[in-house]
Chains A and B, each alone.
Chain A
Amino acid sequence: MDRIDHLFKHYANRSSSHLIDPEGIEELCSNLEVPHTDVRILMLAWKMKAEKQGYFTLEEWRRALKAMRADTISKLKKALPELEKEVRRPSNFADFYVYAFRYCLTEEKQKSIDIETICQLLDIVLGSTFRAQVDYFVDYLKIQNDYKVINMDQWLGFYRFCNEISFPDMSNYNPELAWPLILDNFFEWMREKQA
């Protein structure tokens, strides 16, 4: 416990409010030898149940490191692959997916995320498992004009889409069902491309 707290203080000493701030996180990342935008940092945040993007509290820090049994940087680094495996387990991944969205809601009462951020987030979170779907959907998001932001319902809808709909043929997709409209439009757009 002591060493965990000590480690925390190391990264939090720049900020006056006893939090690890974005700069601190950056240092952490470089020490872990993991890029700042890597999905594993997001996974770490999930493990911490971190509430505010870019900041870790002591409690959150303790929560994760204790569970991962890491009290030094090198132990933490070694524990990352195990963490990734844990997150990717189907029972956890859906939760992680929802968490990733919420994590990006920075303003109070914010409910949607802008397209650009969503595109990055999709790439980080789903890029390794659903490469094709993410690539096409991101393309679509960038060229369409109907939506400037994405909400949780649409975010979840896309995850279901990846899991249930065969791709790229999408032969089992039915736009007359309850899919979010944005996916209906994506479906139409894909069909036109394939024609």
Chain B
Amino acid sequence: MSNQRKRNFQIEAFKQRVVVDPKYADKTWKILEHAIHEIYNHNASGLSFEELYRNAYNMVLHKFGEKLYTGLVTTMTFHLKEICKSIEEAQGGAFLELLNRKWNDHNKALQMIRDILMYMDRTYVPSLKKTHVHELGLHLWRDSVLHSSKVQTRLLDTLLDLVHKERTGEVIDRVLMRNVIKMFMDLGESVYQEDFEKPFLEASAEFYKVESQGFIESCDCGDYLKKAEKPLTEEVERVAHYLDAKSEAKITSVVEREMIANHVQRLVHMENSGLVNMLLNDKYEDMGRMYSLFRRVSNGLVTVRDVMTLHLREMGKQLVTDPEKSKDPVEFVQRLLDERDKYDKIINLAFSNDKTFQNALNSSFEYFLNLNTRSPEFISLFVDDKLRKGLKGVGEEDVDLILDKVMMLFRYLQEKDVFEKYYKQHLAKRLLSGKTVSDDAERNLIVKLKTECGYQFTSKLEGMFTDMKTSHDTLLGFYNSHPELSEGPTLVVQVLTTGSWPTQPTVQCNLPAEVSVLCEKFRSYYLGTHTGRRLSWQTNMGTADIKAVFGKSQRHELNVSTFQMCVLMLFNNSDRLSYKEIEQATEIPASDLKRCLQSMACVKGKNVLRKEPMSKDIGEEDSFIVNDRFTSKFYKVKIGTVVAQKETEPEKQETRQRVEEDRKPQIEAAIVRIMKSRRVLDHNNIIAEVIKQLQSRFLANPTEIKKRIESLIERDFLERDSTDRKLYRYLA
């Protein structure tokens, strides 16, 4: 047994099997049993830890672990049943307190017991795969106390009742709540969820269902939303105080469902206080609240956005199709800009700059702006107004701002080519009459258009500016080479390149001698330096400043159109002229002549001529004399300028027709371009491709595209495939 070792001494374990007296086990167990009793009876102070530990150790060592374990279970269960009974007998508020106290007691006891039985817990328990002491204690509590029929329901009811009280405004003992609910959590997640959380959520759902119903019947939308906000913060706070953190998400979603999701439709559509009302009255706070609440629930924001879109489209449609509103184009556009600003602000302040809302705004504007076919014209007129006078005195930054806003509307236009046509007309008039408030602003807008639509869109417009500059230089050259002309009438000529300017019919008339001489001199000068070009005077577009004397001494300077000048100059040689004589002498076309005479004889304050008879309209038998009694408080009097007006119906038809005609070659060019690269393409794809290519200028009509295809087939640019009727083939 002993080895020859260098150790001093050695203690060896017994190697023989020692059979212990079974009575020994009973005795030891009795000691431990008694100890457990004492512990539960709050008499633990008299016990010796070391002795009890040793006893438990010995039992396990001598293979009595099972007896110990089963004994533990029995004893503990016995005590727990006693405890349960006492809890059951508690009255009223004392119930919860007692439960809590007993739970704490049990935990303390359990700790002590486990310390005593630690050896068993570490050896016997794992090797036989039994439940550890601590856990066992919890399970026994759960089974004996918590799940006892009388305790279980009463406990839950008490807790839920307290929550309800707190929700209705009473103060409750939160610490107690916390401790009791912690008990659930300590017993295991499934116990917490099954025994408390689930019923809690159900009860909460009921509660909020009723609450929300009450509110919705009695409040308007804004008030309801305020009321709906509160429970969200309340419940989060409640969770922080006495519930498991994991319950926060769940209770929040219950509140969201009951208070918000279930009532989304009703709230949004609430009469007199719903979303539409908020939009109309700029109720930023209410809308902001609606946004932040509704974004919590699925389809919440979708509903808001859809209602806003519908409203916008309706309102926009009414705006643009109302004949009253279309009377003044400038106001029409201003109204649209104002509406856009309004909604921009709403989306910014209340809807958190949400991109999807921005998109809804844009698509709505695009929808209704194009409902009125005159929108392109009106936008051009708006710009015209701004560039003539509206931007006078406005700082550079503000000008940029206004033009950017106009560009925003421009982007919505489907028929950008119509806008281009009008813009060209209006620009031409502005340039020629010198009536633009700021050259910089004009160029600024051209740059913006170029950025938006490409070089082609603006090349002709820029050509117009170039012509103006070149004409100025040409004129200087002319006067420099003809110094003798510095005395006598001053000629100002603008030479316009035909392709760049809107097509105008050339109207001839007989100019007064002094003027026509000058014109001829200019023509020779110009053609001297530009051979091969052809000049034609646009007498219908010019103006003249004439000095006139009325009566004996009334001197005025009259600013008139070329036609008007021709008429007036005749009176230098005759006192009285008939309509026919004037017509013959000037050769001005009848309709123009009538308008011209009307503006000089029938308009108050501008009646430099007197007409006999004094009727309102110009008749072919009328006669005219100079009005010697003409007065005006101004020295300079302007009679009838060529201002951009809203087109008359026949003019509108004509412009529209020209636009349609211009579209045909563009469509054909697109078709040829596409077919040249694809070689073979089927019908539907050609249509789609063409529309896509021309999108930035106008919305191409499939029927029109078909017509152009057929025309190209006839002219042998394309052919149909012989076997598949749907295919077209490019013919090189």
Chain A interface residues toward B at CB < 8 A: 111-112, 151, 153-154, 160, 176-178, 180-181, 184
Contacts and interface: CB of A to CB of B under 8 A. Distances in A.
Interface in B689-725: 702-703, 706-707, 710, 713-714, 720, 725
Given A176-B684, A177-B726, A153 B720 contact: yes
Contacts of A184: 703, 706
Given A153-B720, A160-B725, A176 B702 contact: yes
Nearest to B714: A151
A147 to B, nearest CB: 10
Contacts of A112: 714
Nearest to B706: A181
Contacts, number: 30
Contacts of B703: 181, 184
B714 A181 contact: no
B684 to A, nearest CB: 7
A178 B720 contact: yes
A153 B706 contact: no
A111 B706 contact: no
A80 B550 CA distance: 98
Contacts of A178: 682-683, 720, 725-728
A184 B705 CA distance: 13
Q: How large is the interface on B (under 10, 10 to 19, 20 to 34, 35 or more residues)?
A: 10 to 19
Nearest to A154: B710
10 contacts: A153-B714, A153-B720, A154-B710, A160-B725, A177-B726, A178-B725, A178-B728, A181-B710, A184-B703, A184-B706
Given A176-B702, A177-B683, A153 B710 contact: yes
- Name the 7 nearest CB pairs between A and B, nearest first: A178-B683, A178-B726, A181-B706, A153-B713, A151-B714, A181-B707, A178-B725
Contacts of A181: 703, 706-707, 710
Contacts of B720: 153, 178
A111 B716 CA distance: 11
Nearest to B724: A178
Contacts of A153: 710, 713-714, 720
A184 B682 CA distance: 18
A94 to B, nearest CB: 10
A73 B338 CA distance: 90
B401 to A, nearest CB: 45
Given A153-B720, A178-B728, A181-B707, A111 B714 contact: yes
A154 B709 CA distance: 12
Nearest to B716: A111
B689 to A, nearest CB: 14
Given A153-B720, A160-B725, A180 B714 contact: no
Nearest to B720: A153
A154 B725 CA distance: 12
Contacts of B707: 181
A180 B683 contact: no
Nearest to A112: B714
Contacts of B706: 181, 184
A111 to B, nearest CB: 6
A180 B702 CA distance: 13
B93 to A, nearest CB: 80
Contacts of B682: 178
Nearest to B725: A178
A177 to B, nearest CB: 6
Contacts of B702: 176
Of residues A112, A151, A178, A181, which shows the largest number of chain B Cβ atoms within 10 Å of its Cβ? A178
A178 B686 CA distance: 10
Contacts of A177: 683-684, 725-726
A67 B11 CA distance: 134
Nearest to B727: A178
Given A153-B710, A178-B726, 15 more contacts: A111-B714, A151-B713, A151-B714, A153-B713, A153-B714, A153-B720, A176-B702, A177-B683, A178-B683, A178-B720, A178-B727, A178-B728, A181-B706, A181-B707, A184-B703
